[in-house]
Amino acid sequence: MLLGFDEEFLKERNAYITASAIASQPKAWKELFGYLIKNKEDFKKFLDPVFQTKNVKIILTGAGSSAFVGDCSAGYLRRALDLDAESIDSTDIAAAPENYFLKDRPTLLISYSKSGNSPESLAVIQEAQQLINNIYFLNVTCNKEGQLAKMKIGQERSMSLVLPEEANDSAYAATVSFTTMLLANLLLPYLVDKKCGADDILQILVNESKRILNEDCDKIKNIAEESYDRLHFLGSGSLKGCAREAALKSLELTQGTVNATYSSFLGLRHGQKFVINDKTILGCFVSNNAYTQKYDLDLIDEISHNKMYKGKILLFEPKALRTEEADYVVSLENKDINNLDEAFLTLLYALYAQMLGLFKSIKLGIKSDNLDPAFSIEEQAYGVVGKFKIYNL
């Protein structure tokens, strides 16, 4: 059985690769952690001088799900490292680099790419070299054969982090690659001794993720059986990035049959609320930050008691909170989760979003392993965007 399905059933529906990737995440996280600990001194040797550079700026960049790695972790890194960190999509930078790169501002560009061959990511690195005087590069990728992994830009100016082979699945939609790249990001402060106890955090995440994948599949299957055709995900702080990734996952895996969008909890009131109709599920990623959580719960209370809103509420909670106000509820059960920074919740909440997208695609008869017929499953491992013209500055 895999995610509650017979393996042959999944293979017949071209969903086995995607399901396997989702289920492999706890293993991939453990392998990544072991690699980082083993090579901690190498990363520390590279990162320490960069982080100690006066007025250094960290830009987190990637395309699609790889961009959302930065969205989910920029605020956390800003606080944990006490440095200026910003998430900017490589698709934005590539087309207008001078809007984001400052010539005299020392910069660490951290690039994320599953395939390592994303045209935008490669273009952004070239643009940064041309436009920034004092530039460093950390390239995070899942593919050891990709261009990003092999790129050398001065021995002291660049470093590549190639994730475990488990993270380099060949499914179209990023699942294990997304969460493993994100975990690498969240562990950066531990590599430079800014924090301790990373092994305890990893164990919490691995134990809870295994529980989710083993015990909560049926809950998500039942939701996927509903007749919704709109999904709107909500998240505050770092979890807004989680909402963005969750929306993309459902959009990809259902090939747009489910129109999936996202916003912050506070942002929903400003026009986004009109997305809600009687075919809408509102997916709420509730923060474990006590201050932020107040705004999350107020919005849920408002929606649940307003007769104008006909949609259903799907609540993702760090612990049991507001069961009576939601149509569907999934709660994390490890009590230690509430002691973690909210950024780490994305690793767990993302599992639910991935399963929901996959289960809905199975319900709709969509081949989730190869959503774009222009690419073979083998080609997908090397990037599904395809080649397009990149212009010189």
| Structural domain of 208 | 201-364
Distance between CA atoms of 88 and 94, rounded to whole angstroms?
Answer: 10
Residues 165 and 207 in one domain: no
pLDDT classification of 297: cutoffs 50, 70, 90: very high
Average of per-residue pLDDT across 72-79: 97
| CATH number of the domain to which 138 belongs | 3.40.50.10490
2 in a structural domain? no
Q: Is residue 383 a part of any domain in this protein? A: no
| Residue 85 resides in a domain | yes
Residue 183 is predicted with a pLDDT of 98
- With respect to residue 380, please indicate whether it lies within any of the assigned structural domains: no
Q: Does residue 120 share a domain with residue 251?
A: no
**Residue 195 has what pLDDT?**
67
Question: In the 8-state DSSP scheme, what is residue 5?
Answer: B
184 located within any domain: yes
pLDDT of residue 292: 97
Comparing 103-107, 188-192, 195-199, 280-284, the range with the smallest average pLDDT is 195-199
Q: Are residues 15 and 158 in the same domain?
A: yes
Question: Helix (H, G, I), strand (E, B), or coil: what is residue 12?
Answer: helix
Domains contained in the chain, number: 2
The CA R_g of the chain, rounded to the nearest whole Å, is 20
Whether pLDDT at 372 is above 90: no
Looking at residue 197, its pLDDT comes to: 83
Together in a domain, 187 and 215:
no
Boundary (domain end) residue, out of 167, 196, 225: 196
* pLDDT at position 231: 97
The answer to whether residues 218 and 188 belong to one domain is no
* Domain end position, chosen among 196, 212, 230: 196
The string of DSSP letters for 295-360 reads HHHHHHHHHHT-TT--SEEEEEESSS--GGG-SEEEE---GGGGGS-GGGHHHHHHHHHHHHHHHH
Would you say residue 370 lies in a domain?
no
Residue 322 has pLDDT above 80, yes or no: no
Kindly state whether residue 309 falls inside one of the protein's structural domains: yes
Same domain, 75 and 151: yes
The pLDDT, as a whole number, for residue 171 is 87
pLDDT digit string, tens, across residues 12-66: 999 999 999 999 999 999 999 999 999 999 999 999 999 999 999 999 999 999 9
User: Which tokens hold the place of 6?
Assistant: 């017979």
Q: Are residues 108 and 208 in the same domain?
A: no
Question: Do 328 and 284 have their domain in common?
Answer: yes
- Decide which of 196, 223, 255 is a domain's last residue: 196
Q: Report how far residue 23's alpha carbon sits from residue 28's, in angstroms, rounded to the nearest whole number.
A: 10
Q: Do residue 309 and residue 161 come from a single domain?
A: no
Residue 37 lies in a domain: yes
Tell whether the model's pLDDT for residue 177 goes beyond 70: yes
Q: Do both 216 and 358 map to the same domain?
A: yes
What pLDDT sits at residue 393?
A: 82
Same domain, 148 and 265: no
**Is the pLDDT reported for residue 377 higher than 50?**
no
Q: Quick one: 219 and 281 in the same domain? A: yes
